[in-house]
Amino acid sequence: MTQIGLMVEGQLGLNWARWQRILQTAEDFGYQCVFRSDHFTDRNPPDEDSLECWVSLTYAASHTSKIEFGPLVSPTTFRHPSMTIRMAAAVSDLSGGRLVLGLGAGWQEREHRVFGVPFYDFPTRYDMLTDALEITSRLIFSDGSVNYAGTHYSLDEAILLPRPKKPGNPPILIGGNGPTKTLPLAAKYADEWNGVFIPPALYQERSNLLNDLLAQNGREPDDVKRSIMTSCTFFPTDAALQAEIQKRGKTIEEIRERGALFGTALMIVDQIGEFVDAGVERFMLQWLNLDDIAGLEQVAKDVLPHFHQ
């Protein structure tokens, strides 16, 4: 079954009141999941509210009962991977196994500089992510102590206690479209691969490549769930849509060329259908206006019934 949920940018004004409203709306109106970015700031000032990611996920675990949720994604530059997996395992258990652990290399230099977190070149951050994925995977699946001597992170007889209530939890999500860096990591470590701002044809191409890489790792295509994060701009009427197109000075095709969902309800349903045909199982709809709860409710009423039973 196709799953449709939300993704919010936590650095764009997320505070407790907004987070509570978004979570409650997702629960009440049938969204399958709510993911959020793990950022301290936006790439450019002015700075806005930015509720700390893992504190907010702990709240989600104890104040929701149906939706899945998680970071999309937590940079390995922010926290030692042993700390991240300890938090993630605890939040997963608190929620009854509804957390999905998204991990990434980090990309935004400004937030690192502003808060005094070292920001390395991409090869270094990629190596840090590789260490983090190996450590995370070993701690999740090992009932005994773990030793690991990595390039940047290491373990010496570490064990994740208490053990996850659900074996193999939390599942690991890796996001990104890169064929030579991201997808090989997803094929080795991920339970879910998340494409980002990518049109259907390219998504299918990358998904097929992932299948080949999975086979090289002795895994099956069904071992890795396929999802996408892309923007969603919803218009309740065709008149509102046409006014926005004129304002932007672009055609709908130009607006959608990176995979953005843009249009009235039936147009978005058709676009989602194209992604489903390309292999997408779960959608994280990026919703930038954190106060537009009415819009979230309308999308739930007009779009979700076409996919959610």
Counting the structural domains of the chain, the total is 1
Q: Which residues of 266-297 are buried (b: 16+ CB within 10 A; e: fewer)?
A: ebbbebbebbeebbbebbbbbbeebeebebbe
Digit-coded pLDDT (tens) for 269-288? 999 999 999 999 999 999 99
- Each residue's pLDDT tens digit, 17-51: 999 999 999 999 999 999 999 999 999 999 999 99
Cβ atoms of 122 and 105 closer than 8 Å: yes
pTM for the structure as a whole: 0.96
100: three-class secondary structure by DSSP: coil
Cis, peptide link before residue 170, omega less than 30° from 0: yes
Please check the confidence at residue 1 and state whether its pLDDT lies above 90.
no
3-state secondary structure of 105: coil
Is residue 60 over pLDDT 80? Answer: yes
Query: Beta strand pairing status for 101-104 and 74-75?
Result: parallel
Q: In this model, does residue 251 exceed pLDDT 90?
A: no
- ∠ CA(13), CA(16), CA(19), 5° rounding? 75
* CATH code where residue 192 lies: 3.20.20.30
Per-residue pLDDT reduced to its tens digit, 180-191: 999 999 999 999
β pairing state of 33-36 and 101-104: unpaired
Q: Tokens 């937590």, residue? A: 74
* Chain-centroid distance, C-alpha 225: 12
Q: Note down the domain range covering 294.
A: 3-306
pLDDT digits (tens, 9 = 90+) for 136-145: 999 999 999 9
Predicted pLDDT of residue 126: 97
The DSSP result for 149-203, as a single string, is: E-SS-EEEEE--SSPPSSTTPSPEEEE---TTTHHHHHHHH-SEEEEES--HHHH
Model pLDDT for residues 111-154, shown as the tens digit of each residue? 999 999 999 999 999 999 999 999 999 999 999 999 999 999 99
Distance set, CA 306 to CA 140, 199, 236, 309 (Å): 36, 21, 16, 8
Helix/strand/coil for 6: strand
**pLDDT score at 128:** 98
